[in-house]
Amino acid sequence: MKLIDHPSPNFDERKGGPPDCIIMHYTDMVTAQEALERLCDANAEKKVSAHYLIDVDGTIYKLVDEDKRAWHAGISSWQGEADMNSRAIGIELANPGHSNGYVPFPAAQMKALAELSKQIMARNGILPVRVLAHSDIAPSRKQDPGHLFDWKGLADQGIGVWPVPLKEDFERAATMDVRAALTAVGYNPDEDLKSVLTAFQRHYHPEIFKTPGKVGQPDLETLARLSRLQNLKFSP
């Protein structure tokens, strides 16, 4: 794992306890160098940063110490917590994003991400269920890291969780209170329901994006996965 120190001046002190989640982002910029400059720009009108940036070749740039509060989450919420910058470690992945021709994340980049994430989780005692997407915590504003991100591959390595519904999940899905279930796993109940469902699908049911008309709709498979996620979330 190639790690380069590249300190960003854009951080402050965490409020509350140590970080207990990881937030995955994409840069939405053409090159990693462009993103690096932006994340380290102390003179920008809107200052942003993250703890790490990973280039497409797997090179990792360390921007902010994990015990400090980087500025990556913006207006966001998870499980009723609005200051996600204080709760999270933010990882940016170099990717043109939906603004510049969204593409899959290369194997070298995902390998570096997995190695880094395992270390972060071990250092900070972060649970797999607390590995989240930027779109999870800000579903009306953000799409990243998007449906091409390999959440299942990470979950197979213990980084995040992947809900594989059982027969009883499909049975529960038929009578599910969708809003209540989404709120129970952490999504903000004040967000637009379609946006929240879309965010859930980006993370846990990306195949649905092959059928655009179903995106943001409460189809049976989506709700069954939501049911299973509730069980995974609340399992000891």
Q: For 33-75, what is each residue's pLDDT tens digit?
A: 999 999 999 999 999 999 999 999 999 999 999 999 999 999 9
What average pLDDT does the segment 96-106 reach? 98
Let me know: does 52 contact 91? Beta carbons within 8 Å. yes
**Per-residue pLDDT tens over the stretch 13-44:** 999 889 999 999 999 999 999 999 999 999 99
**Per-residue pLDDT tens over the stretch 156-193:** 999 999 999 999 999 999 999 999 999 999 999 999 99
pLDDT higher than 60, residue 235? no
pLDDT, position 234: 65
HSE (side-chain half, CA atoms, 13 Å) at 160: 22
Question: What strands, in cross-sheet order, belong to the sheet with 88-93?
Answer: 3-5, 60-62, 52-54, 88-93, 21-26, 131-133
What average pLDDT does the segment 109-120 reach? 98
The pTM for the full model equals: 0.97
Sketch out the chain's domains with CATH numbers: 3-155 (3.40.80.10), 167-234 (no CATH)
For the chain, the 3-state helix, strand and coil shares in percent, each to the nearest 5, are 40, 15, 45
pLDDT > 70: percent of the chain: 99
Catalytic residues: 92
> How high is the mean pLDDT of the chain?
97
Residue 35 burial by Cβ neighbours in a 10 Å radius (0-12, 13-18, 19+): buried
Token pair in block for residue 39: 């994340």
Cα 95 from Cα 110, distance rounded (Å): 12
- Please measure the distance between the N-terminal and C-terminal CA atoms of the chain and give it in whole angstroms: 32
pLDDT, position 236: 44
